[in-house]
Every structure is written in C-alpha cells, then in structure tokens.
Structure 1
Amino acid sequence: MGPVAPSSAQAVVAVVGPTGTGKSDLAVELALALDGEVVNADSMQFYRGMDIGTAKLTVPERRGVPHHLLDILDVREEASVSAFQAEARAAIRGIQARGKRAILAGGSGLYVRAALDVLEFPGTDPAVRARLEAEAEQVGIGVLARRLAAADPVSGARLRDARRIIRALEVLEVTGRPFSSYMPRREYALPAVQIGLDMDRSALHARLAARVDRMVDGGLLAEVRRLDAAGLREGKTASRALGYAQFLRVADGESTVEQAAEQTTVATRQFARRQATWFHADPRVHWLDALGPDLVANALGILEP
C-alpha cells in the first residue's frame, strides 16, 4: 500500500522522477484535467535559449497551459536553490489564489524539495567565502576538509568537492550552526502529493538514446554555438548542463558530433540513475509506470480524496 495522499483539493501536485520519463507531458495533461498551471522545477529549463538540450516543451506542446519559471535566467547567471524556493512558492500561491491547481514538474531533486518541504537556507558572506577560497588555494582543500570534519562530522563525512566544503565552513562561520543542521526534512511545508514516473531500465536507456538523437537532429550543436556566443561558458550552472558541456567540445574541435552524442547519452543515463535513487528514497512518492496504460487516469486516481 502506498503513502496516503493529502485530502486538500489545493494540494500541490508534483510530477517527479528520472529524466526522459515524460514528466512535462503528464504535467500538462494533469493541468488540463484539473484546471491547473505548471511550475517548472528543472533547473536547466530556467535558462533562456536552452531549449533543445533540455527537452523544454515548445509553446504548442504546452497546449495553452500557463507555465511558470521557464526562461527566467541568462546562461551566465548561476541558478540558486534558495531563490527558486521563494519564486516557486510565490508562483504556487498566485496559482492557488486564482483558484487553480499548482502542478510542479521536474527532476531536479533539491529544487523539488525546496519548493515542497520544510527547508531553510543559511545566509552567505562573500568576504568569508573569498577568504576560504584563497586559503584553499594556498594550503590545499585537504586542510579545510579536516577542519570541517572536526567541527561538523556529518558534513565532513558527506562532502567531497571543494565548493561544498568551502560552503559548509562559510555557513559554520556566518551562522554558528553546522551546515548539516540545515539538511531538509521530509516534511511538507504546504499540502502536496508527489507522483513519480519510472520505467524499466532498458526501456529508459533506449528512450534516452533516441532523445539525444532527436536533439542532435533538431539542432543541438547550433543551439550550443549560439549560447556560446551569448556567454554560456561564463555560467557556472548552464555550462555544466547535460549535452551542452559535451557539445561545447565539438564547437572547440575537440570532439565529433557522434562522440558528443554518445557521451551525452552515457551521462544522461547516469543522471537518470541518480534521480531514480533520490526520488525512490522518498516514501511519500506515489510511483506509476511511465509506459503503463491509462497513465493520466491512474495519476488522477491518486489525487482523489
């Protein structure tokens, strides 16, 4: 027996799961059935011009359903989970104030949690961060990692990359609280129902490979070149996006289109596996087979009080 869904008719419906399972399409179908509007929770779909490589729905594919938080950032800007939290919750409040149903859609796990769950974000201090970055450059990140392990063993055991270690030490210094104390709890900040889409691994792998092929045929390399001219490499978030990082190497003459497509497919499979692990760890998600019959009807059935 699955988790019990909140009875509130205003509960946010979140469509989650691995990339390539059809979350965007189901969100549109649910919005049409429930008189709803969609709030994007895919961090790469925030970016203007990143359309082909993110599988962003075209305007006709949105079928008249209003979509929020698409195309809100320039590729040079860095996505912020805390900023998204405020914007997503404001969008949800606005949708509900209009008497509509809010449908959150996306596979960026932390962004989904930020929109739905009790999750606070510690403040920042650029001067403290700059000092820590300079120290890491001078003495090595290992020294800072050992300092973090002594002060915040939970974060010290969990964090490996330099950026996160520095952030954890910054939070400790700025707030006096360990970074681990800010970890999200599985507690909804507002009534919500999560519907997860997944499918057989081999079917998903074939689907992802076909999707990358469609992206290439649809002009992904031209899109990457256009965004490169607009400052894609300057963006810490956008430049790392699946497909874009690989096809920048094609633009530089360091890779062929075929090699980049294969690298993108492999990276996308790995990403889908991480997403599946993240969302399956949440017992509140109601799972559906993305390829099963009557998908929309089954999803609506989960939402019945």
Structure 2
Amino acid sequence: MIAVVGPTASGKSDLAVELALRLDPPGEVVNADSMQLYRGMDIGTAKLPVTERRGVPHHLLDVWDVTEAADASRYQRMARERIDEVRSRNRVPILTGGSGLYIRAALDHLEFPGTDPQLRASLEDTLATVGPEQLHARLAERDPEAARSILPSNGRRIVRALEVVELTGRSFTATMPEHVAYYPCLQIGLSVPRPELDERLERRVHRMWASGLVAEVRELEERGLREGRTASRALGYRQVLSFLSGEYGEETAREETVRATRRFARRQESWFRRDPRIHWLPYDAPDLTERALAIAAG
C-alpha cells in the first residue's frame, strides 16, 4: 500500500487520485484526515468534491456526526478494516491525509492507552473552567516533551496527554513507539517551501470563506456542532463559531484561521519529518506523479 502525507494545502488529495488511476492494479483512497471523517464538514476541511475524485473510491469520509468525539483507536480499527477489504479485492489502498497520529495508527504497531471516564470528565471540567493555556502549563510540568509538541490552544490533545500521564505513569510521548510497520507501506511526502506554503494556506482560507464556510458552520451548529468536543475545535470551525457568538468580527475570525492553520502546518511538517521512511518530493514538480510512481515501482 501507499501513503501520501505532508502539510495541509500541499496537494495530497490530487496526487492520491492520480496514483489511484495510474497504478496497476488500480488504487482506492482511504482517508486519514481526522476532520474529514465528519459529515457535513466539507468546505473547512477541503474535502475533495465527488466530481474531483474522478471515479476513484474514497473510504472513511463522512462517517461521524459532529457531536462525536474523535477517537484514534476507533479510527485505527476502521482504517485497518477498509485497508484489508481493499487489498482483498486486489486493489492498492492509498492512505491520504495530514493527521500524523491517524497515519501512524493505521500503518504502525501502535497501541493506545485506555481511558478513564472519571479522570477524563475531571480534566474536561478543568479545561472548561480555566482554559487550555493553564492546562498546558500543567502538562509542561508533568511531561515537557509532550507540551512542546502540543499547541497551548489544543485543549483536546492536552487533556488526552494528561490523562495518559495519570493512567500510565509514563510520558504521553513514551506511548509512541519506534516506527515499526504493521503494513508494508511506501510513504510519499509532499514538501512545500515555507513562504509558498504560507501563501497557499492564506489563499485556501479566503477561498473557503468565499465558498460558504460561514453558512456551512451555521448549518452544522443546528446539528450540534458546538457540543462536539472535537469538531467544534477544528481549524476554521472554531473561529467561525467565535464570530457567530460575537467574540470575533468576521475579518478577525478569518485572519485567526490563517494564523492557526499556519501553526498547524508547521506541526505537521515537524511530525512527518521525524519519520525516516518517508520519500519526500517537491509538491510542484511537473513530473510529480511519474516520480511517485517510480518510487512505488522501485
């Protein structure tokens, strides 16, 4: 199987479709973007429209309601079921997305520590009371390495890291083992120079606004988006919700989305660069597909 990885706005979805069409046997795409698992979150996640999938089957899109919390362990089970099913039909699974943990959950021997409902509820209550920054400071005391890898604004991941530390007595990062493959897989990474990536991200956010992101969030709000612990904090959605509640003006919400997306892209790059198995290619190479196919063949 193949994985196409890299920062947001690097062209992963398009390359995955091209590879799927040109491989022999053909490929099918398996989503590894945690936010594209949610139904109705289309514009803000840059979900590839059906017309642009060019007949290539795409799996694990639109499977969760926005009120459901993301769960990497649950995703791992679903992804491996789909991967095995695609392989059983002599097709090539192409895992595609920018969620590094989900990529590793599908591809590697990775076990997830359990959860404690009482502890989780207590940490969630603390998050709601004091905010993510104070919890992040607490994490920095208990697990400095994890704190360095998690944004101070990412309350969901901070809560999970603290939960793991409390449950296991080990650091959150210690639960991430070495890169040991569960599936033999060729990984292709798309590299974008930082200045170009920043420009691409800003243009993407402005396109999302022009395409109706605010209207999409309003519709999802009626379906319980604000109650969703994960979906409500997604890039763009969180900022639009703040605009709709009067916390931000619309222009501020848009610019905050640009800034947050740039920070997220830097985290993605840092995550993927630590994996020595990834073959990196320039995102704008005129012969990108041919080079990716040559790596796959060789």
TM range (shorter): 0.7 to 0.9
CA distance in 2, matches of 1:245, 1:40: 22
Please list every run of 5 or more consecutive structure 1 residues that lacks an aligned counterpart in the other structure: 1-11, 150-155
Whether 2:167 is the aligned partner of 1:171: answer: yes
* Amino acid across the alignment from 2:105: A
Whether 2:76 is the aligned partner of 1:85: answer: yes
Aligned to 1:263: 256
Q: Choose which of 177, 182, 200 in structure 2 pairs with 1:207.
A: 200
Whether 2:24 is the aligned partner of 1:24: answer: no
Within a 5 Å distance, the mapping from 1:84-163 to structure 2 comes to 84-127=75-118, 129-130=120-121, 149=142, 156-160=143-147, 163=159
Aligned to 1:193: 186
Assess, with a 3 A threshold, how the Cα gap between structure 1 residues 130 and 233 changes in structure 2: closer, same or farther: closer
* Amino acid across the alignment from 1:171: L
- Partner deviation per Cα, 1:194-219 (whole Å, 9 max, x = no partner): 10001111111111111111111100
CA distance in 1, matches of 2:273, 2:224: 36
Assess, with a 3 A threshold, how the Cα gap between structure 1 residues 145 and 204 changes in structure 2: closer, same or farther: closer
Assess, with a 3 A threshold, how the Cα gap between structure 1 residues 79 and 131 changes in structure 2: closer, same or farther: closer
Shift of 1:159: 3.8
**Is 1:113–1:119's contact at 8 Å kept on the other side of the alignment?**
yes
**Is 1:15–1:23's contact at 8 Å kept on the other side of the alignment?**
yes
Could you say what secondary structure the match of 1:38 adopts?
Answer: strand
* Amino acid across the alignment from 1:52: I
CA distance in 2, matches of 1:94, 1:194: 20
Could you say what secondary structure the match of 1:43 adopts?
Answer: coil
CA distance in 1, matches of 2:224, 2:83: 31
| TM-score, L = length of structure 2 | 0.87
- Partner deviation per Cα, 1:152-198 (whole Å, 9 max, x = no partner): xxxx333447513541244328xxx7755532321111100110001
Aligned to 1:237: 230
* Amino acid across the alignment from 1:202: P
CA distance in 1, matches of 2:124, 2:11: 40
Whether 2:3 is the aligned partner of 1:14: answer: yes
CA distance in 2, matches of 1:131, 1:251: 28
Aligned to 1:153: none
- Partner deviation per Cα, 1:194-253 (whole Å, 9 max, x = no partner): 100011111111111111111111000000111111111111111111111111122123
**Is 1:13–1:195's contact at 8 Å kept on the other side of the alignment?**
yes
Greater Cα shift, 282-291 or 197-206: 197-206
Could you say what secondary structure the match of 1:118 adopts?
Answer: coil
Whether 2:52 is the aligned partner of 1:61: answer: yes
Aligned to 1:47: 38
Assess, with a 3 A threshold, how the Cα gap between structure 1 residues 76 and 286 changes in structure 2: closer, same or farther: same
Assess, with a 3 A threshold, how the Cα gap between structure 1 residues 22 and 170 changes in structure 2: closer, same or farther: same
CA distance in 1, matches of 2:240, 2:123: 33
Shift of 1:261: 1.4
* Amino acid across the alignment from 1:206: E
Assess, with a 3 A threshold, how the Cα gap between structure 1 residues 210 and 169 changes in structure 2: closer, same or farther: closer
Assess, with a 3 A threshold, how the Cα gap between structure 1 residues 78 and 51 changes in structure 2: closer, same or farther: same
Could you say what secondary structure the match of 2:229 adopts?
Answer: coil
Aligned to 1:9: none
CA distance in 2, matches of 1:44, 1:115: 16
Aligned to 1:290: 283
**Is 1:212–1:264's contact at 8 Å kept on the other side of the alignment?**
yes
**Is 1:196–1:286's contact at 8 Å kept on the other side of the alignment?**
yes
* Amino acid across the alignment from 1:164: R
RMSD between aligned alpha carbons? 2.6
Assess, with a 3 A threshold, how the Cα gap between structure 1 residues 246 and 31 changes in structure 2: closer, same or farther: same
CA distance in 1, matches of 2:74, 2:37: 12
| TM-score, L = length of structure 1 | 0.85
